[in-house]
Amino acid sequence: MKGSLTKRLVYLMILGMFSLNFLTACNTVAGAGKDIEAAGDKIDDTATKEKND
């Protein structure tokens, strides 16, 4: 019975580590998307400004 509890705890610890890793990766991708969007906005603004000059 004690081995069963140990297996459950190990399983929960591994599951927790994968969950935290997944959440961190999602935040990193979201941040990169915002950076790319901001760069695209700057390029668009510059192109519009040059077109109007």
Would you list the DSSP string of 6-48? HHHHHHHHHHHHHHHHHHHHHHHHHHHHHHHHHHHHHHHHHHH
| Tokens encoding 29 | 């991708």
| Tokens encoding 11 | 């399983």
State whether the Cα torsion 20-22-23-28 is positive or negative: positive
pLDDT recorded at residue 24: 75
pLDDT in tens, the chain (53 residues): 567 888 888 999 999 888 887 777 777 777 888 888 999 999 988 888 888 87
| Tokens encoding 45 | 């603004």
